[in-house]
């Protein structure tokens, strides 16, 4: 009779429930051994602490697994990108990322997967999908200012690509108004282009001139000089 081979990943999955049972068997065995201690109020507190420690332990294991899946997804995307187009690469990994986002939506890895997938969607020119995911990420990372600015920038570029220049300008205006944003010149450059597309020449020139005055080392400086003097 031919024995079916079991993959390593499947073996790990099969071992996880046993590990969980073993862990809690030990915990409850220990509590049973010292049941007199746990009859007191202090004992109850200790029991609660042990339970919390157990939950944290398995949350960490779950998070580690989620990040491992995320890393695999990113590597797969990069590999597919070398052999094809961004559109094809995104299609090949979309289900992988959706699985992480669905299964680990409340974990950091799930939230990060959402943000990364938004960027992949944008690169694949699936702007509606990118906007949907960026908006979810905006909720997830509302308190993380650096990532929040990256999300706002992504939304700005996505709406700009859809030729919704007014909405795009709104996002870049938020970024340009923040005092600590390191790539403010990028936001101003986009505003200059967007205002021009909206027919507001004065605002466009003002945005470009602000790059000249406030960001003399900007990578956009030569382009801006031509736009201002042209």
User: d(Cα 59, Cα 84) in Å, to the nearest integer?
Assistant: 37
pLDDT (tens digit, 9 = 90+) per residue, 31-75?
444 444 444 444 444 444 444 444 444 445 557 888 888 888 989
Structure tokens at 90: 């995104």
Look up the pTM and report it: 0.71
Higher pLDDT, 49 or 177: 177
pLDDT of residue 57: 46
> Rounded to whole angstroms, what are the CA distances from 224 to 60, 139, 186, 215?
49, 34, 11, 11
User: 117 and 111 in contact (C-beta within 8 Å)?
Assistant: no
User: d(Cα 216, Cα 214) in Å, to the nearest integer?
Assistant: 6
pLDDT of residue 105: 87
> Rounded to whole angstroms, what are the CA distances from 52 to 13, 46, 60, 65, 206?
23, 10, 12, 20, 56
pLDDT of residue 66: 84
What domains, with CATH codes, occur in the chain? Answer: 141-230 (1.25.40.10)
Nearest Cα residue to 61 out of 25, 93, 13 = 13
User: d(Cα 44, Cα 53) in Å, to the nearest integer?
Assistant: 14
Residue 11 predicted with pLDDT over 60:
no
> Rounded to whole angstroms, what are the CA distances from 97 to 52, 62, 100, 102, 125?
30, 16, 5, 9, 17
pLDDT of residue 107: 86
pLDDT (tens digit, 9 = 90+) per residue, 109-133?
899 999 999 999 999 999 999 999 9
pLDDT (tens digit, 9 = 90+) per residue, 204-219?
999 999 999 998 889 9
pLDDT of residue 109: 87
pLDDT (tens digit, 9 = 90+) per residue, 92-114?
999 999 999 999 888 888 999 99
Nearest Cα residue to 151 out of 167, 165, 166, 131 = 131
């Amino acid at each position: 009779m031919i024995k079916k081979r079991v993959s390593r990943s499947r073996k790990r999955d099969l071992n996880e429930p046993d590990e969980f049972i073993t862990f809690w068997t030990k915990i409850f065995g220990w509590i049973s051994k010292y049941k007199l201690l746990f009859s007191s109020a202090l004992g109850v507190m200790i029991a609660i602490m042990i339970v919390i420690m157990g939950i944290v332990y398995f949350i960490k294991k779950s998070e580690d697994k989620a990040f491992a899946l995320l890393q695999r997804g990113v590597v797969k995307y990069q590999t597919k990108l070398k052999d094809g187009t961004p559109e094809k690469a995104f299609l090949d990994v979309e289900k992988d990322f959706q699985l992480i986002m669905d299964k680990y939506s409340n974990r950091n890895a799930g939230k990060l997967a959402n943000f990364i997938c938004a960027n992949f969607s944008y690169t694949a020119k699936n702007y509606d999908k990118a906007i949907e995911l960026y908006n979810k990420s905006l909720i997830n990372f509302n308190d993380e200012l650096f990532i929040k600015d990256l999300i706002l920038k992504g939304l700005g570029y996505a709406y700009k690509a859809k030729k919704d220049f007014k909405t795009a300008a709104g996002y870049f205006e938020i970024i340009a108004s923040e005092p600590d944003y390191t790539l403010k010149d990028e936001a101003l450059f986009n505003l200059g282009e967007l205002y021009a597309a909206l027919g507001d020449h004065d605002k466009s020139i003002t945005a470009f001139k602000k790059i000249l005055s406030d960001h003399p080392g900007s990578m956009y400086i030569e382009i801006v000089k031509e736009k201002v003097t042209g």
